[in-house]
Amino acid sequence: MAREDTPAPCPDWVSVEWCLPAPMPRRLQALSMAPHCPQSSDIISTVEFNHTGELLATGDKGGRVVIFQREPESKNAPHSQGEYDVYSTFQSHEPEFDYLKSLEIEEKINKIKWLPQQNAAHSLLSTNDKTIKLWKITERDKRPEGYNLKDEEGKLKDLSTVTSLQVPVLKPMDLMVEVSPRRIFANGHTYHINSISVNSDCETYMSADDLRINLWHLAITDRSFNIVDIKPANMEDLTEVITASEFHPHHCNLFVYSSSKGSLRLCDMRAAALCDKHSKLFEEPEDPSNRSFFSEIISSVSDVKFSHSGRYMLTRDYLTVKVWDLNMEARPIETYQVHDYLRSKLCSLYESDCIFDKFECAWNGSDSVIMTGAYNNFFRMFDRNTKRDVTLEASRESSKPRAVLKPRRVCVGGKRRRDDISVDSLDFTKKILHTAWHPAENIIAIAATNNLYIFQDKVNSDMH
């Protein structure tokens, strides 16, 4: 008999069976996206769960934001626990033109970040290349009736006809979700914004472009504080750019930013107003034997994420995901190969510009599993405890409702199993750049070009 203080065994996360909780066509129709010939404006450019996981927001290249809400469990739909339906859709950004620089500003949504919920309303930040907007999402299911000075159409009455006073009452109405812009944070960046991050103090956030990071107060739109500036006096001396940044989840004074040289810089805002001098530099020494023309390109960090505990950082470069301990700067404590079979194809990937694709990465709620995307609509999961990994595919053909996703395997050469796919037959136009994991449960969101897939743990879904 096990002692009471014996820890429960860790689940084998790689063996978790993932399935779709709802028919796929329904979700695709809700997104209003064509399945086979997607327009450029329909391609999903960011995916983000809110802090409870009840809402999921996606942004696309057309400047639209689609918010999904988790369906409550009901007796009529026992398997709807992981199902999300469209909650609200709105146009966040429009195409603009910078007349001073004669440049078009795309409406594409680069990032969405939810603010911690303070009241009944929800709030999120969305940004394109230049402008950040704060949106408020509210529900209305009652309407006032019985005004003294207005008629039913809302027009003012003739005061001479008002002979008595009545108390207005609230009458039930169909639920209406209203999205309204609360703040517009513009003119803060000369270069393209690549990331935004909300601080744990719930009052400030930062935005990063290629060369600078700015700190904003959520209530002030006309000014921001520059906290990092790596622009050299002579642009010919430029050797690296900022690729991503994020605040620490618990310490409001700490943030990290990554660079195109593969390094991470942890900064402490208590040390100086301008954090050009980092507190810690995380950088892995390069192996001279692996040095090639593409080394610098594939070492560029495309995404960085703090773990929920705040102890670790997760980074993604072109071929690997790495876990860094905040207490060890010399090297990552874990390195996982995402698609090492592409190392021999870097030349053709360079010619097609695929080598510059920016893949994101995600932690699960307990920081024990890592998820990131790949080509051919594949996405990868790595179990940090067992060191096992799995490749899964997000596609309409392989994703029938309630059907378990089958692990996929890429064959480089030699003998091929029946279900193996050759590295030469991978479709590089089908890429999963954006993924998100529910903050507490086994529910994941995968953006595959213009399609959004939401998978859940089949074991837990069958229990509901």
For residues 24 and 130, the model is more confident at 130
Q: Is 313 left (phi over 0), alpha (psi -120 to 50) or beta?
A: beta
Position 210: which residue type? D
Question: What residues does 185 pair with on adjacent strands?
Answer: 132
pLDDT classification of 464: cutoffs 50, 70, 90:
very low
| Residues 357-372 pLDDT 10s | 999 999 999 999 999 9
Residue 320 has pLDDT above 60, yes or no: yes
Confidence of residue 80 (pLDDT cuts 50, 70, 90): low
Residue 302 scores a pLDDT above 70: yes
On the question of pLDDT at 190 being above 60, the answer is: yes
Residue from 357, 212, 378 nearest 297 by CA:
357
Cβ pair 170, 143 in contact under 8 A = yes
In terms of phi and psi (left: phi > 0; alpha: psi -120 to 50; beta: otherwise), the region of 257 is: beta
Residue 79's pLDDT band (boundaries 50, 70, 90)?
A: low
Is it the case that residue 396 has pLDDT exceeding 80?
no
pLDDT value, residue 110 = 97
Q: What is the mean pLDDT of residues 397-421?
A: 78
Residue 287 has pLDDT above 90, yes or no: no
Output the pLDDT for position 81. Answer: 61
Task: Give the confidence band of 226 by pLDDT, cuts at 50, 70, 90.
Answer: very high
Gap between the Cα atoms of 134 and 216, Å rounded: 12
CA–CA separation, 345 and 14 (whole Å):
28
Tokens representing residue 50 in the block:
């809110």
Whole-model pTM: value is 0.86
Spell out the residues 6+ positions from residue 70 whose beta carbon is closer than 8 angstroms to its own: 53, 54, 55, 56, 82, 83, 84
Pairing of strands 410-411, 421-422: parallel
